[in-house]
Structure 1
Amino acid sequence: MDAPITGPQALMVRDAAARGGPLAGFVVLDLSRVLSGPYCTMMLHDLGASVIKVEQPGVGDEARHFLPMSSRGESAYFAAVNRGKKSIALDMKADADRAVFEQLLARADVLVENFRPGVLDKLGYGFGWLEEKYPSLVLASISGFGQTGPYRARPAYDVVVQAMSGMMSITGHADSPPARTGSSIGDLSAAMFACSGIQAALLQRSRTGRGCHVDVAMLEAQIALLEGAIPHVFCTGVSPGPIGARHSGSAPFDAFRCADAYLVIAAGSDHLFSALAGVLGRPALVSDPRFSSRPSRVLHQDALKRCIEESLASAPAGHWLSLLDEAGVPAGPMNDVKAMMADPQVASRGILPEIEAGDGQRAPVTPIVFSGHGYPARLPRVPGLDEHRELIMRFAEGRGNLD
């Protein structure tokens, strides 16, 4: 086993971490584009790493052209996941640019890519070559189906892996057309697993001095999120269908209509259900054989929902939310995104800082708070294509840092 990293390099990492987050001092080389890879490297940046975004000359990451566009004519979508990175445009087929890229590889801790499996090898930078030339480098590959298996070469987008994983089969309402989740969780979950894997690989490297290949498949990331559906099939032999806002093993756990709007209530335990019945002024619900235990409530969810909504219809959602909060029953309003952004809890925590020079655009920061630190008051601005060439070239040549 190789010796762990010690001496000046370890001191540099520890000192940098004390200044700017737990990953400060680490350098991430980002070959990815659109969402899964850029979201992963955005999280690494938020945790303190320096991220060099390598883009195609003249075009850049295709997400630079995704709607909606800000008043400055820049993609707000691209800005949300690429703020704070440093951009250089390199033609990976041109000898001069490949030489620059290899200089950067020699100084980087992590390389992130989301090409189809085999593309990186065709470029001459497969893991076998990287492992021999840069043994301490961590390579993270995000793809639709992983680096092995019969589907490895297939293209995949978020909706494809949501459909193939079974995620779409449990989303939406019965007797409705298939529904994709409202956010690109196929991309985003793969990004989060990759971010976790990268940090574990860096921790391992601190003990061994060697990097490794982190292989994350979007399909498998979706499968890993089926926390209730897979056990359901195991126990019953039947695939669950779409359940709307309900939970397959708890009731009441759903969206309920009040006089003016919907709210959600999650009162699956006997204790919470008793408290809910008291708030509704219907204590007899607790002794009703249909609702007296969790299994009975799940079996009779439709009847239970009718009883609850009969009571909720007498007053607006705000009235009931106040009473439910006082009684300790988990409940919340049915916010749209704009309402969420105005919520006092969201504002107090500062999860949506403004992007510098971004026409007032706000974006969520990686939602992890470390002791002694809070969320940043402002997010760094979005890089222009090839904006940081001179800075990155100096870094690649060992003549400066990325600050």
Structure 2
Amino acid sequence: MKGALEGIRIIDVSRVLAGPFCSMILGDLGADVIKIEHYKTGDETRGWGPPFLNGESAYYLCANRNKQSISLNLKAEEGKEIFRKLVSTGDVVVQNFKAGTLKKMDLGYESLKEINPSLIMASITGFGSTGPYKDLPGYDYIIQAMSGLMSITGEPDGTPMKVGVAIADVLTGLYTCIGILSSLQHRNKTGEGQEIDISLMDCQVASLINVASNYLSSGIVPERLGNQHPNIVPYQVFSAKDGEMVVAVGNDEQFKRFSAALGRQDLSEMKEFIHNENRLENKSKLIPILEELLAKKTKKEWKGILDKAGIPNGPINTVQDMFDDQQISSREMIVEMDHPSIETLRLTGSPIKLSKSPVKMRHHPPMFGEHTETILEQLGYHPDQIDRFRKNQII
């Protein structure tokens, strides 16, 4: 079966996470992804370790499968010409240089669309191409701070906390992927390419969802609630007999079943707890009662009881616990790939399960410049020219 994006070529000149994560998704879906790396250093994440697997960093490996790698000096005129040739064969360019950098190199969207009028260029920056911050660099950590995310993350009496993964980068990669797929659909209808201006800041702000809406509706500045929910009770971490678990009671009917499962049906009949707004108002009374009840059994015991009652719940797993869970293996969320230098390469699988055009793990995360000669030959360059490029530090 063919991949959904087979026949689409992505020229990926991005580095680190947001751009590479986006292009990996497109590669998983069948697109031909050519990863252009700095001719000397490659993608910075190749050196972000430990851990390393025979010289390859786990960070780099996580976002670069289903790609080919070419090393290229984009500051040299011959390097720019090679890039332009690649663009003429492509459908999408993904780039995350600082705003205006490619334009100064005469490789911006306006220049490249002269070569390829149907080209789609996804430009990822920290703050976008407009506004007073457009020239500032954007790193995930800074975006988590400036977007308000850290101000609502952590315990009420603790310090602001960042999320445990580079969530602004991940969300930006997903939003960029959506923008590219939308642009491809637009091009299918009109024949027109376009530029996608997408920023980490915008993506993180949009991802505040209900918290942002609560503020815009009320003017009340959201505060850190730890593991509690601002609008729903009970919806938080509880300590079972042998460790922590999460219980998420989303509506009044669930609270009735939850109370019955705890052996306290009367809780759901009390005036101060009968509706969610009552429970929210009186959570200081309700939560200690629930804490005492849930501390009497183990996580596994409560899992069985609450699952049977239809109450959303789950243990707080370590990453090891999660990967040991049969649900994860049954969903093929661990994949193994052949690799030239790594005996057993295990990666996180794709969450996209398509019935007609399934995701395929076609190519291992490429070694630095692994496909440089092959790609140049496909562009029509003679082996003697390729040798000269290498001697002149073009590749």
Pick the TM interval, shorter chain. over 0.9
Q: Which amino acid aligns with 2:258?
A: L
Measure the CA separation in 1 of the matches of 2:338 and 2:62: 12
Aligned-pair distance for 1:161?
0.8
Q: Is the 8 A contact 1:353 1:379 kept in 2?
A: no
Q: Is the 8 A contact 1:228 1:248 kept in 2?
A: no
Measure the CA separation in 1 of the matches of 2:69 and 2:213: 45
Provide closer, same or farther for how the CA distance between residues 79 and 297 of structure 1 changes in structure 2, counting only shifts above 3 A: same
Give the corresponding residue for 1:22.
4
Aligned residue-pair number: 380
Give the corresponding residue for 1:391.
374
Q: 2:127 aligns with which of 145, 163, 184?
A: 145
Q: 2:154 aligns with which of 156, 172, 179?
A: 172
Q: Which runs of 4+ in 1 moved over 4 A?
A: 373-376
Give the corresponding residue for 1:278.
260
Q: 1:44 aligns with which of 13, 26, 29?
A: 26
Q: Is the 8 A contact 1:84 1:381 kept in 2?
A: yes
Return 136-145 or 88-97, whichever deviates more: 88-97
Aligned-pair distance for 1:373?
5.3
Identity %: 38
Give the corresponding residue for 2:315.
333
Measure the CA separation in 2 of the matches of 1:277 and 1:323: 12
Provide closer, same or farther for how the CA distance between residues 380 and 303 of structure 1 changes in structure 2, counting only shifts above 3 A: farther
Provide closer, same or farther for how the CA distance between residues 325 and 96 of structure 1 changes in structure 2, counting only shifts above 3 A: same
Q: 1:304 aligns with which of 277, 280, 286?
A: 286
Q: Is the 8 A contact 2:168 2:203 kept in 1?
A: yes
Residue segments in structure 2 that go unaligned for 5+ positions in a row: 383-395
Give the corresponding residue for 1:154.
136
Aligned-pair distance for 1:352?
1.8
Aligned-pair distance for 1:224?
0.6
Measure the CA separation in 2 of the matches of 1:385 and 1:206: 34
Give the corresponding residue for 1:131.
113
Aligned-pair distance for 1:360?
2.9
Q: Which amino acid aligns with 2:156?
A: A
Q: How big is the alpha-carbon RMSD for the aligned residues of Structure 1 and Structure 2? A: 1.6
Structure-1-length-normalised TM-score: 0.91
Corresponding position: 1:55 with 2:37: yes
Measure the CA separation in 2 of the matches of 1:337 and 1:79: 18
Higher relative CO (CA 8 A, sep ≥ 6), structure 1 or 2?
2
Q: 1:370 aligns with which of 349, 354, 364?
A: 354
Measure the CA separation in 1 of the matches of 2:229 and 2:160: 18
Give the corresponding residue for 1:163.
145
Aligned-pair distance for 1:281?
0.3
Q: Which amino acid aligns with 2:44?
A: E
Aligned-pair distance for 1:298?
1.4
Structure-2-length-normalised TM-score: 0.93
Measure the CA separation in 2 of the matches of 1:327 and 1:248: 25
Aligned-pair distance for 1:361?
3.6
Aligned-pair distance for 1:374?
5.0
Residue segments in structure 1 that go unaligned for 5+ positions in a row: 1-18
Aligned-pair distance for 1:359?
3.9
Q: 1:224 aligns with which of 206, 218, 227?
A: 206
Within a 5 Å distance, the mapping from 1:187-226 to structure 2 comes to 187-226=169-208
Measure the CA separation in 2 of the matches of 1:234 and 1:114: 31
1:118-176, Cα deviation, whole Å (9 max, x unpaired): 10111111121122331111000011000111100001100111111111111111111
Provide closer, same or farther for how the CA distance between residues 71 and 198 of structure 1 changes in structure 2, counting only shifts above 3 A: closer
